[in-house]
Amino acid sequence: MSTLSFKAKCAMALCFDIFGINAFLRKQKRKQYNNNFIRVVNYHDTKLEHAKNFEKQLKWYKKHYVNVNYEDFCGFLKGEKTFFDKPGIMLTFDDGFKQNKTVGAKLLHENGFTGYFFVSSDLVDTDKYMTTDDLKDLIKENHVIGCHTATHHRMDVSDTEEILNKEIVDSKKTLERKTESEITSFCWVGGEEEHYTRKAANRIRSAGYKYSFMTNSEVLTQDTNPLQIQRTNVETFWSMALLRFQLSGFQDKRYKGKRDRVNDLTK
Ligand SMILES: [Zn+2]
């Protein structure tokens, strides 16, 4: 996969938007699956200064997708839930920043969306990150908390058993103790190809996670391996043209090589 600078990507996104290519590609994807898929996006921080822009994005999602709550998500993967008129959208947030609670969750609530928050267990209750009470509140409001390792660790082939235990197994237990809820989802850190490893994938499976999230851009279908759920990166400050470009399906094609290699390594 060739790298595209942010500036070049913005320019391309704007061209695609003006000439209707984003809309055309999105329509093709809908046709391909008869609307029966979920687009999973991943955000990071939800800063107050970008709240207005984030709200604009949420309004756009509302028009083109339907929200996927946790029950829908599990049901979809079991083949019990189907999307007919519009595809589903899942909004995930990595790293557990404080403003995910004070800004993000508030806007999600006002606009009827479920948030999936992936937090690093050792960062909970530290400066700039959410507290244990924040996580409990989110769960009460029907949002979902998942594990994003203990220390925001990028997996590496040199990882020892001890490291894998701490980052995958102990982190799950810590979050379960803090939230007093079962943690079923794991989310890989970084997303660069070298930070997916077979050893870590095996440990994620044996630790009892039901779902694992990656970042190699593809929609979730009923054939997707629940331990290889792909997401597409977006941010709250991005323009609508860039957001539509990311979600058009163009990135799904660009990431195919990397995605196939990572899926092969982690199956
Ligand atoms: Zn992260």
Ligand 1 center–CA 95 separation, angstroms: 5
Ligand 1 center–CA 156 separation, angstroms: 15
Q: How far apart are CA 224 and CA 226, in angstroms?
A: 6
pLDDT at residue number 2 = 57
The pairing of strands 38-43 and 232-233 is: parallel
pTM metric for this prediction: 0.96
Ligand 1 center–CA 17 separation, angstroms: 29
Q: Residue 77: is its pLDDT beyond 60? A: yes
Ligand 1 center–CA 154 separation, angstroms: 9
pLDDT digits (tens, 9 = 90+) for 200-243: 999 999 999 999 999 999 999 999 999 999 999 999 999 999 99
Asked if residue 261 belongs to a domain, the reply is: no
Asked if residue 267 belongs to a domain, the reply is: no
Q: Is the dihedral of CA 97, 103, 107, 109 positive or negative?
A: positive
What residue numbers bound the domain in which 101 lies?
8-241
Q: Is the dihedral of CA 113, 116, 121, 126 positive or negative?
A: negative
Q: How far apart are CA 84 and CA 34, in angstroms?
A: 7
Residue 176, Cβ density class (10 Å: 0-12 exposed, 13-18 middle, ≥19 buried): middle
CATH code of 35's domain: 3.20.20.370
Ligand 1 center–CA 85 separation, angstroms: 33
Percent of the chain with pLDDT over 70: 99
Q: How far apart are CA 25 and CA 43, in angstroms?
A: 22
Asked if residue 248 belongs to a domain, the reply is: no
**What is the number of structural domains in the chain?**
1
Over residues 76-89, the mean pLDDT reads: 97
Asked if residue 218 belongs to a domain, the reply is: yes
